[in-house]
Amino acid sequence: MDLTLKIVIVDESPVRSAIIEEGLREAGYSHVVRVAETANLLARIYAIDPDVIVIDLENPSRDVLEQMFQVSRVVKRPIAMFVDQSDAASIQASVDAGVSAYIVGGLAKERVRSILDLCISRFNAFSRLQAELEQAKTALSDRKIIDRAKGILMKAKNLSEEEAYSLMRSTAMREKKKIVEIAQSVITAAEMLK
């Protein structure tokens, strides 16, 4: 592992790039630069002069990096790790995680393998975090809808909270729907009948 390598992270998500930077620093890499702004990207990368560039696959600026392959302009030619066909498992892991890395200036692939592996695992961790956050948000809003519908039923049909809930649950089961869908129809109906 070569800890002196200079690494640039090109990512529009500041949270994700912070997570990656932290991971790289924890692993001992001290030369890490994050680039979020896409304007004049190539000039900025040339100025930083990195050994390795990490970029997310959902970033349209990947095409900007392709210009570095053009021999006429620069001496250093980067290699995309993503397209090294010798290692199908690594490619699959990269694509699944949504990250790609470019090695600049003819470094041996083995020297940066650990960097890519680390980025892949950090990208995956970020995706998991995001999914969990999304789930929590949905659960919270479902909860609110169900509570509102419960209140409407309790008032309209003079039911206890428990009775109102079990009425929605049995209706949901009978109609093969989610309880939140039934709750939403209760709210919609109540608004129409206002």
Site residues (vs another protein, CB under 8 A): 38-40, 42, 57-67, 69-72, 80, 82-83, 85, 88, 91, 95
Q: Which is nearer to another protein, 43 or 192 (CB)?
A: 43
Torsion of CA 104, 109, 112, 117, to 10 degrees: 120
Distance CA 115, CA 8 (A): 11
Q: Which is nearer to another protein, 2 or 84 (CB)?
A: 84
CB of 109 to another protein, least distance (A): 14
Distance CA 67, CA 77 (A): 10
Residues 6+ apart with CB under 8 A from 133: none
What's the CA angle centered on 161, arms 157 and 162, to 5 degrees?
110
CB of 114 to another protein, least distance (A): 22
SS3 77: coil
SS3 141: helix
CB of 62 to another protein, least distance (A): 4
Q: Which is nearer to another protein, 8 or 32 (CB)?
A: 8
> Tokens 């200036």, residue?
105
Q: Which is nearer to another protein, 42 or 107 (CB)?
A: 42
Distance CA 93, CA 18 (A): 21
Q: Which is nearer to another protein, 70 or 158 (CB)?
A: 70
CB of 193 to another protein, least distance (A): 33
Q: Which of 47, 43, 53, 42 is nearest to 17 (CA)?
A: 53
Q: Which is nearer to another protein, 38 or 138 (CB)?
A: 38
CB of 95 to another protein, least distance (A): 6
CB of 91 to another protein, least distance (A): 6
